[in-house]
Structure 1
Amino acid sequence: MIKVGLILGIAGACRTDELVNLTVDDIEDVGSSLIVKIPNTKTKIPRIFVITDVGNILELFRKYMSLRPPHVKHKRLFLYYKFAASWQEYHGKNSYSVVASYLKLPDVACYTGHCLRRSSATLLADAGVDITTIKRHAGWKSTTVAEGYVENSIENKTKIANQVLVGTTTSAITKTVNVRESNIPSNINFENCTNVTFNLNVNK
């Protein structure tokens, strides 16, 4: 349950109440991925996100679903399986403090399901995702909130440090080589490059 909660929470930037209220009807298994719908959100903007099969995630989700007792009448996704008599109970927003405890993190009580939402936004910001995409993914109306994650991104701070200290800037370089030429250089060297994309076009 905890692993599935971590996957859903981080993949979808879910709020605590969104995880608690998630039902089996909100998740569609289409074979190669899971399509997850969050119909009721704090901002009144329904969200949909997809979970692909990275690291056998789908197998883990399906295993969790196979444990669901057939006689449970409600459709909430997360159940409490510790005791048979507790099958009708739901997991709450503080269930994820057990993860912080397992990882031996300080101030365990401070870690709730909302940390999954923050982690999702932070991972996107560190990956260089633009603010519009972060807002759309997390369902934020406020640009200020999304900007907070970008401003605190280690990747973004590193980029700024390089620009301040060594004058590194972002630039585009186009190199065209005709394979029929006899003076083709043996190699092309790039120095002081970060976040570089190479596009190779081969014309036969």
Structure 2
Amino acid sequence: MTKEFLLIKVGLILGIAGACRTDELVNLTVDDIEDVGSSLIVKIPNTKTKIPRIFVVTDVGRKCSSQPVGKNTMGKIPSVVASYLKLPDVACYTGHCLRRSSATLLADAGVNITTIKRHAGWKSTTVAEGYVENSIENKTKIANQVLVGTTTSAITKTVNVSESNIPSNINFENCTNVTFNLNVNK
């Protein structure tokens, strides 16, 4: 997206990162956002549930200026993105999609329902669960657990190696999606 879509990008990032309602985005002021260098701390003081929330947006690369935006403009951000991506039924993408996307992304990442409720400010587990979409990614994880017996949980093994005890080989059997992190201390 080019510079003309900057407002759309900002609304999308804030909306999903904070599971924000359209009103919460519209009511944000410059005073609600604290720039701490590589991230922003965003405070949502007035929520529908009367429970203030705070969330963080990481990897912030550019500074933004103050720009008043109305509820209708903010609420249309998901449909603008859907149109840009040439998705079907563009009118179905409303401002509320930001909260649903946030909850679904967290659930797909394995976050528990208590954390999802706390993040979005929901009191009810039933309401929070209603926001989590049954994504293809989540269904694929479940299918692998049922049919193959694999899980997405990480197994971490730390091995301290010096020049005198470097193993000649390490065998991995029946492994998929293996990630190696090599930390070298000099």
Question: TM (normalized to structure 1)?
Answer: 0.65
Per-residue deviation, residues 149-169 of structure 1 (Å, max 9, x unmatched): 557244432232112212235
> How far apart in 1 are the matches of 2:29 and 2:41?
13
The structure-2 alpha-carbon separation of the partners of 1:191 and 1:46, relative to structure 1 and needing over 3 Å to count, comes to: farther
> How far apart in 2 are the matches of 1:99 and 1:171?
32
The structure-2 alpha-carbon separation of the partners of 1:39 and 1:109, relative to structure 1 and needing over 3 Å to count, comes to: same
- Partner SS state of residue 37, structure 1: strand
CA deviation after TM superposition for structure 1 residue 51, in Å: 1.1
Q: How many residues align?
A: 167
> How far apart in 2 are the matches of 1:178 and 1:34?
37
State percent identity of aligned pairs.
97
Per-residue deviation, residues 84-120 of structure 1 (Å, max 9, x unmatched): xxxxxxxx4443x222222222222221211111111
| 1:5–1:19 contact (8 Å) kept in structure 2 | yes
CA deviation after TM superposition for structure 1 residue 48, in Å: 0.4
CA deviation after TM superposition for structure 1 residue 146, in Å: 3.0
> How far apart in 2 are the matches of 1:175 and 1:18?
43
Unaligned runs of 5+ in 1: 56-91
Which of 107-116 and 185-194 deviates more? 185-194
> How far apart in 1 are the matches of 2:156 and 2:58?
34
Question: TM (normalized to structure 2)?
Answer: 0.70
The structure-2 alpha-carbon separation of the partners of 1:186 and 1:111, relative to structure 1 and needing over 3 Å to count, comes to: same
Which of 44-53 and 141-150 deviates more? 141-150
Unaligned runs of 5+ in 2: 1-6, 62-69, 74-78
Per-residue deviation, residues 14-43 of structure 1 (Å, max 9, x unmatched): 011111222222112223321111111111
Say yes or no: does 1:163 pair with 2:145. Answer: yes
